[in-house]
Amino acid sequence: MPAHLDGMVWDEPYLETCCRAALHRLTLVDATGRPAGLKDGPCLDRLAGMGLARLRPDGRWEPTEAGRSRHMREILRRTG
């Protein structure tokens, strides 16, 4: 095992590339939300099942706090 991974345990489900992109798009639209019915709908459903996104009552998707945190750690590669 590489030294930088020694002692680390990965306990989060893997995000497919398409789902990572969908999560990134959710963070880009911010409070506006992303409309339902787009091509990334299956990814948004997967993200919702993982607790990383939610469908709002107005029919638009947004990241959850867990989704924002995962985006920061995994996609932007920042800790915090």
Residue range 14-75, CATH number? 1.10.10
Helix and strand element counts for the chain (H, E): 3, 3
**pLDDT tens digits for 31-55?**
899 999 999 999 999 999 999 999 9
Separation in Å, CA 4 to CA 7, 9, 65: 9, 12, 27
Query: Which range among 13-17, 27-31, 33-37 shows the weakest confidence by mean pLDDT?
Result: 13-17
Model pTM score: 0.81
Separation in Å, CA 46 to CA 2, 7, 8, 52: 31, 29, 25, 9
pLDDT, position 14 = 86
